[in-house]
Amino acid sequence: MTWEKITKNYRKLKVLLIDCKWYPMCPMKVFYEKGKLNKKWVELCRKGDWESCIRYQMEERGQEHPDWMLPDGSIDERLYKLCKEVMG
């Protein structure tokens, strides 16, 4: 194993020990707490490899993204409809 790979793996382990800084204000948190989102998404975007979360990456770049976009970047039409209902 090369030093570069060891460093990369160590950095990834560090990510897994820290919660995503955006999670407290993330719509995924709200959808999950309302029972509208599968737990796997919360595990990925909060406690998992949140650096790979498309929502996290876009937030870090200051790019707008819809509340109903899942961590993998796909659009969940069911969540879109829920947002429309809530917003009127």
| Global confidence as pTM | 0.78
Look at residue 32 in the predicted model and tell me its pLDDT.
92
Chunked mean pLDDT (size 10), the chain, 88 residues: 71 75 91 91 82 93 96 94 76
Domain carrying residue 30: 3-87
Look at residue 68 in the predicted model and tell me its pLDDT.
94
CA–CA separation, 47 and 38 (whole Å): 14
Q: How many domains does the chain have?
A: 1
Position 47: which residue type? K
With CA atoms as reference, report the closest residue to 20 among 42, 40, 57, 46. Answer: 46
Look at residue 82 in the predicted model and tell me its pLDDT.
87
Look at residue 56 in the predicted model and tell me its pLDDT.
94
Phi, psi of 3 (to 5 degrees): -60, -40
Look at residue 12 in the predicted model and tell me its pLDDT.
67
